[in-house]
């Protein structure tokens, strides 16, 4: 077991990146510890790299080359003079071999004993251990044990989490194929293809209990969190306390007792989380134990008033939890994960330059304020304006957290801040998050793991900007571009570049947003702006950064962001990103009909059964891309013949790369 009682600490290396590295550094600075960052080549200019006292390069870009290299991480700690290693979450945070190697190197491991990590590292073994300790569990099933009465079932990877290796199976016919696919993904993600399945509860709630355990035998249950709203079995919205548990105090006592028992049976020390699936009738079963700090820990910090990272450090130096006992919850906290992804396109991850990133009303970053009375916003982010969102790591940009004395207040504050945020350059799930936070079912506390399917992803992922808002935003964008042109260039002895000697001739600008294209025509007459098709719209002012319009007596302000090839128009009614459509297009830009283009940068990890010359059915898988920790299936859009397959397993592709060509039957 790791030694939690030796001497003071001086300097902490975080074996991680991005937001969680910054989060740990923030507490270390407040407590006077030195900070050491590690960074891949892709992260050489990242915020966590620049903020640490010392930063150590890990040559390479991929996780396998860098953040998953335990030998390089330990070398970095020793070379930098760090005397402790904090693993963050993800990467090697739940690998007992890494924890033991850190201890063997004479460094302090800021996590639980390696033996505790090992005990919970296999979901199969962990469930058996929990059952023996009297903690409720779901019955484990092997592939040949599943009967019709057991359906639906959930296939899960034994060695990992985060949605990797998970498959919901609803028919016996699809079980063998899904089992094989889950094994392949688990082996790729965790180096262990062991999978199992259990009954899938369609409308269960994912509720977890935060624990803190010291080296003197005291175990605290520090409140519960509800994390039921998920995509691909990954959490999107988290809150504390759970509205369901809040209404059933006896359930809270049972969950807390089960969590303490789970920690005690494995000799747990440090911060961890015990996760449960709670059925609509209030019965519950153990899912897994996360032997690390959770992504969603800020909601517990804000409601319980504890800095969990500070307590990880204190426990690692032998400090005991206070005799006063577990803190109670205060108010309500809600956290959303802001991802660079497009929910409307099967959660397709996005990459590129984050041209602008601003969240209004943020009072704290990575901090646990004391004496809360008024609603507040906290931001835990790994990016800033100008950051590059790459293809090598998880696409989460930030966690935005609201606290308020009442849950409805926290939801309203968080939704408002997100709606007014300035996020330019990459597609995000921002509009989805706002729609969820404002949804009547969410506000009523009716959240379960089927939330997206129950209320419709097409509805929840709909843009905040209505079609009319988008149309008026196109006019605002066109006027801002014209204002910028006038400011940046002059002709004819100082006349503005937009000047025309034929006053009746309209200015013309074409902007596109998604599937919509707007041809904006306008001119300035004696009475001001005359825009074709925009009756009742008058121009108050226009600069390159802001356009103010009077729309049928209501004054609206539009903030403008101009970036290469795009114009982003922000307003309280929704943000719209427009592409400036050129007057002429290059024929060389055209691609062959039937081409399947890469929707994102990534790597080809698997090919389907069809080869060149084979007939394929509509929807038949052609290949799988891996990008940002997830696999994405690329399928034939129509029935036809696979006439070209220019890629192979291992091929790295950019957005728009031709992956395959399917010639439609009867086409031409």
408: confidence class by pLDDT, cuts 50, 70, 90: very high
Q: Are residues 40 and 53 in the same domain?
A: yes
Q: Are 416 and 362 in contact (CB under 8 A)?
A: no
Which of 333, 374, 368, 375 is closest to 242 using CA atoms?
A: 333
DSSP letters spanning 466-525? -HHHHHHHHHHHHHHHHHHHHHH-EETTTEETT--SSTTPPEEEEEEETTEEEEEEEEEE
Number of domains in the chain: 5
Handedness of CA 466, 560, 568, 340 (dihedral sign): negative
- Residue pair 64/42 in contact by the 8 Å Cβ criterion: no
Residue 481 maps to a domain: yes
Of residues 238, 264, 240, the one with CA closest to residue 252: 240
pLDDT recorded at residue 360: 97
Domain identity same for 370 and 447: yes
Spatial contact of 634 and 596, defined as CB atoms under 8 Å apart: yes
Do 500 and 565 touch, CB atoms closer than 8 A? Answer: no
Element (H, E) at 51: helix 47-51
547 shares a domain with 440: no
Provide the 10 A C-beta neighbour count for residue 124: 14
Alpha carbon of 515 to those of 71, 467, 511, 512, 549: distances in Å? 49, 12, 11, 7, 25
Residues 502-558: pLDDT tens digits?
A: 555 789 999 999 889 999 999 988 888 999 999 999 999 999 999 999 999 999 999
Residue 449, domain CATH? 3.30.470.20
Q: Are 274 and 257 a contacting pair, CB within 8 Å?
A: no
The pair of three-digit structure tokens given for residue 366, joined into one six-digit string: 């990575």
CB 317 within 8 A of CB 236: no
Most confident of 17-31, 125-139, 179-193, 584-598: 17-31
CATH number (domain holding residue 27): 3.40.50.20
Residues 90 and 69 in one domain: yes
Residue 494: per-residue pLDDT:
43
For 41-64, what is each residue's pLDDT tens digit? 999 999 999 999 999 999 999 999
Here the CATH number for the domain that contains residue 600 is 2.40.50.100
- Do 575 and 536 share a structural domain? yes
List the one residue out of 258, 283, 295 whose CA is nearest residue 203.
283
Q: Which are the contacts of 351, defined by CB distance < 8 A and separation ≥ 6?
A: 340, 389, 390, 391, 395, 426, 600, 601, 628, 655
| CATH value at residue 517 | 3.30.700.30
Q: Answer yes or no: is 322 within a domain.
A: no
Q: Are residues 573 and 644 in the same domain?
A: no
Give 487's Cβ-side CA count (13 Å radius). Answer: 10
Q: Do 364 and 452 sit in the same domain of this protein?
A: yes
Residues 455 and 511 in one domain: no
Give the CATH number for residue 156.
Answer: 3.30.1490.20
| C-alpha distances out from residue 214 to 108, 118, 559, Å | 15, 19, 51
Does residue 186 lie within any of the structural domains?
yes
Alpha-carbon dihedral sign for residues 310, 315, 317, 322 = positive
**Based on the domain organization, do 436 and 533 belong to the same domain?**
no
| pTM for the predicted model, two decimal places | 0.87
Assess if residue 257 is contained within a domain. no
Helix (H, G, I), strand (E, B) or coil at 21: helix
491 phi/psi in degrees, rounded to 5:
-140, 170
Give domain status of residue 242, yes or no: no
Which domain-ending residue is among 580, 612, 629?
Answer: 580
Q: Which of 17-31, 65-79, 164-178, 398-412 has the lowest mean pLDDT?
A: 164-178
Overall average pLDDT of the 306-313 stretch: 98
> Given a cut of 90, is residue 82 above it in pLDDT?
yes
Average pLDDT over residues 437-454: 96
Last residue within a domain, chosen from 462, 478, 507: 462
Picking from 580, 598, 614, the residue at the C-terminal end of a domain is 580
Which spans in 87-164 are helix H? 96-104, 114-121, 123-132
Nearest 10 degrees: Cα torsion 14, 16, 17, 20: -70
**Look-up: residue for tokens 């002012």?**
541
- Res 373 pLDDT > 70: yes
Supply the range of the domain harboring residue 369. 338-462
The per-residue DSSP string of 157-186 comes to ESS--TTTT-EEE-SGGGHHHHHHHHHHHH
Domain membership of residue 209 (yes or no) is: no
In this structure, the answer to whether residues 566 and 658 fall within a common structural domain is no
Question: Is residue 370 in a domain?
Answer: yes
444, 351: one domain? yes
pLDDT tens digits for range 421-442: 999 999 999 999 999 999 999 9
Using DSSP's 3-state secondary structure scheme, residue 121 falls into: helix
Omega cis (within 30) before 152:
yes
Angle between helical axes of 114-121 and 123-132 (0-180°, round to 10): 100
Cα-Cα end-to-end distance for the chain: 70
User: Please, are residues 270 and 312 in contact by the beta-carbon 8 Å criterion?
Assistant: yes
pLDDT computed for residue 526 by the predictor: 81
Q: Are 64 and 167 in a shared domain?
A: no
Residue 594 lies in a domain: yes
With residue 570 as reference, give the H or E element that holds it: strand 566-570
Q: How confident is residue 417, by pLDDT bands cut at 50, 70 and 90?
A: very high
């Amino acid at each position: 077991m790791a030694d939690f009682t030796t001497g003071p600490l001086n300097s902490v290396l975080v074996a991680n990146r991005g937001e969680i590295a910054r989060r740990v550094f923030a507490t270390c600075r407040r407590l006077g510890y030195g900070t050491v960052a590690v960074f891949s080549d892709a992260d050489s200019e990242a915020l966590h790299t620049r903020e640490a006292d010392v930063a150590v390069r890990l040559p390479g870009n991929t996780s396998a080359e860098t953040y998953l290299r335990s030998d390089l991480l330990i070398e970095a700690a020793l070379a930098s003079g760090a005397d402790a290693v904090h693993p963050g979450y993800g990467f090697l945070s739940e690998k007992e071999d890494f924890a033991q190697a850190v201890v063997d190197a004479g460094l302090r491991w800021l996590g639980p004993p390696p033996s505790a990590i090992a005990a919970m590292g296999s979901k199969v073994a962990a469930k058996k251990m929990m059952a023996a300790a009297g903690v409720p569990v779901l019955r484990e099933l092997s592939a040949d044990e599943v009967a019709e009465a057991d359906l639906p079932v959930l296939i899960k990877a034994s060695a990992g989490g985060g949605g990797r290796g998970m498959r919901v199976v609803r028919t016996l016919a699809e079980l063998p194929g899904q089992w094989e696919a889950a094994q392949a993904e688990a082996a790729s993600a965790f180096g262990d293809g062991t999978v199992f399945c259990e009954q899938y509860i369609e409308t269960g709630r994912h509720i977890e209990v935060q624990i803190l355990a010291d080296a003197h035998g005291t175990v605290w249950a520090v409140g519960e969190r509800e994390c039921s709203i998920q995509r691909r079995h990954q959490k999107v919205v988290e809150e504390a306390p759970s509205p369901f548990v809040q209404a059933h105090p006896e359930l809270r006592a049972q969950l807390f007792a089960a969590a303490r028992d789970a920690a005690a049976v494995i000799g747990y020390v440090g911060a961890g989380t015990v996760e449960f699936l709670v059925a609509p009738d209030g019965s519950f079963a153990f899912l897994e134990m996360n032997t690390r700090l959770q992504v969603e820990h800020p909601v517990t910090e804000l409601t319980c008033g504890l800095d969990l990272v500070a307590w990880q450090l204190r426990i690692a130096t032998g400090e005991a939890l206070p005799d006063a006992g577990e803190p109670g919850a205060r108010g309500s906290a809600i956290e959303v994960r802001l991802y660079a992804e497009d929910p409307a396109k099967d959660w397709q991850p996005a990459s590129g330059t984050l041209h602008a990133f601003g969240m209004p009303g943020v009072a704290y970053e990575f901090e646990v304020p004391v004496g809360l009375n008024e609603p507040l916003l906290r931001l835990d982010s790994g990016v800033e304006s100008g950051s590059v969102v790459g293809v090598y790591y998880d696409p989460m940009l930030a966690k935005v957290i609201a606290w308020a004395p009442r849950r409805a207040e926290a939801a309203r504050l968080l939704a408002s801040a997100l709606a007014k945020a300035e996020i330019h350059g990459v597609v995000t799930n921002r509009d989805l998050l706002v729609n969820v936070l404002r949804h009547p079912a969410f506000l009523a506390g009716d959240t379960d793991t089927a939330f997206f399917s129950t209320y419709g992803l097409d509805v929840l992922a709909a843009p905040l900007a209505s079609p009319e808002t988008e149309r008026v935003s196109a006019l605002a964008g066109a006027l801002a571009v014209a204002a910028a042109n006038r400011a940046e260039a002059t002709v004819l002895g100082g006349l503005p570049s937009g000047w025309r000697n034929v006053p009746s001739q309209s200015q013309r600008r074409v902007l596109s947003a998604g599937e919509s294209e707007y041809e904006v025509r306008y001119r300035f007459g004696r009475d001001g702006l005359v825009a074709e098709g925009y009756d009742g719209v008058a121009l108050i002012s226009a600069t390159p950064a802001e356009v103010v319009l009077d729309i049928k007596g209501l004054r609206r302000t539009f903030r403008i962001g101009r970036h290469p090839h795009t114009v982003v128009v922000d307003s309280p009614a929704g943000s719209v990103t427009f592409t400036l459509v050129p007057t002429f297009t290059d024929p060389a830009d055209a691609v062959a009909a039937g081409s399947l283009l890469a929707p994102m940068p990534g790597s080809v990890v698997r090919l389907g059964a069809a080869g060149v010359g084979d007939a394929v059915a509509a929807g038949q898988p052609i290949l799988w891309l891996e990008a940002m920790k997830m696999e994405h299936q690329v399928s034939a859009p129509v029935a036809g013949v696979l006439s070209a397959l220019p890629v192979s397993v291992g091929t790295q592709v950019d957005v728009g790369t031709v992956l395959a060509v399917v010639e439609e039957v009867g086409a031409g």
